[in-house]
Amino acid sequence: MAEVLPQAIQTTIEGAEALDRPRPPHVRRKRSSLASLGLHATLVVATFCALFPIAWVLLSSIKPASEIRRSEIHLFASPTLDNYRTLLGDTDFPYWFLNSVIVAAFTMVFGIAMSATAGYALSRFNFPGKRSLMWTFLLTQMFPVAILIVPIYTIMANLGLIDTKASLVIAYLTVAVPFCAWMLRGYFDTIPRELDEAAALDGLGPYGTFWRVVLPLARPGIAVTAFYTFLTAWAEVAYAIAFMQSSRNYTLGAGLQQFVPQFSPRWELLTAGAVLVTLPAALVFFFAQRHLVAGLTAGGTKG
């Protein structure tokens, strides 16, 4: 066991890094400078398109309201943090932020806890019902908000849970659990089966193997799945708007909407809010993203 483990860790790390490494150079040809120019020009345009909306919202968030309502464009105009002060001091934004953190964190923890063993079983064992379970996971990804939101709403109303965070966590789990199981299966697949066999030889049962060998090795994959689940809950709006009714119970998506009604929208507050919502999400995202796609697509392509 002791000899096998470091090697396996190595394999996982290598697998995760493969995405970032440039492919071994197979063609060492010089590109003509014209082609090189075209390449950079295209990428610069693409980068501009990708960054502009973010930059624009960021710049607008530090403009005074009167400046946002002008029809001429200025990149900078008497920069100020007033919008942020108003947002944090005079609105319910801090409540929304806290609510979102709580809801997303609970969704994340329950989502992983409920799906980890299933991901392992799907990765390692052939058992009757496996295929239909995989299909079910795919199918639940297809569920439009539209089909579950009404029945879940009526169930929550009967249970008296409308306007509580619990109702949102429960609603988010409908997506999070199958998603986590699917993702985790992909990550468990990258852990060599030889380890399981070695553990079995050492006398560990299937549960022991899972808890003491596979789970510790899958930690990066679990972290990524967890964070992605967190982000999904962080960004959800449909259930949040339907279920939450008092302003202090809103989560961020439902709350921000209050700033931009049809008439006289307050874009200065919205842009400031948008920046504060995006910052933590972006940080979490950049930690997780490099391992994300591998898991997402591995689930779909490996037998």
Nearer to another protein, 1 or 18 (CB): 18
Q: Which helix (H) or strand (E) holds 301?
A: helix 267-301
Touching another protein, residues 132-171 (CB under 8 A):
133, 136, 138-155, 157, 170
What's the closest the beta carbon of residue 216 comes to another protein, in angstroms? 17
Cβ distance 44 to 23 under 8 Å? no
Touching another protein, residues 236-275 (CB under 8 A):
237-238, 241-242, 252-253, 256-257, 260, 262, 265, 267, 270-271, 274
Give yes or no for residue 234 binding another protein (CB under 8 A): yes
Cβ distance 172 to 103 under 8 Å? yes
Nearer to another protein, 6 or 151 (CB): 151
CA 134 to centroid of chain Cα atoms = 21
Per-residue x/- track, 15-44, another protein (CB under 8 A): ---xx-xxxxxxx---x----x--xx-xx-
Give yes or no for residue 203 binding another protein (CB under 8 A): no
Which stretches of the chain are assigned E, i.e. beta strand? none
The residue behind tokens 């345009």 is: 45
> Which residues, 6+ apart, have CB-to-CB distance to 240 below 8 Å?
168, 250, 251, 253, 254
Give yes or no for residue 214 binding another protein (CB under 8 A): no
Touching another protein, residues 50-69 (CB under 8 A):
50-51, 53-54, 56-57, 60, 68-69
Nearer to another protein, 27 or 201 (CB): 27
Tell me the window of 4-12, 78-86, 196-204, 292-300 that interacts with another protein (CB under 8 A): 292-300
Cβ distance 83 to 268 under 8 Å? yes
| Distance from C-alpha of 34 to C-alpha of 29, rounded to nearest angstrom | 14
Cβ distance 118 to 134 under 8 Å? no
Touching another protein, residues 99-138 (CB under 8 A):
113-115, 117-118, 120-122, 125, 127-130, 133, 136, 138
What's the closest the beta carbon of residue 18 comes to another protein, in angstroms? 7
Touching another protein, residues 166-195 (CB under 8 A):
170, 173-174, 177-178, 181
Contacts with another protein by CB under 8 A: the residue count is: 109
Nearer to another protein, 3 or 273 (CB): 273
Amino acid identity for residue 201 in this structure? L
Q: 115-150 b/e with 16+ CB inside 10 Å = b?
A: bbbbbbbbbbeeeeeeeeebeebeebeeeebeeebe
Nearer to another protein, 18 or 81 (CB): 18
Q: Round to the nearest angstrom and report the end-to-end CA distance of the chain.
A: 27
What's the closest the beta carbon of residue 6 comes to another protein, in angstroms? 25
Q: What is the DSSP letter of 266?
A: -
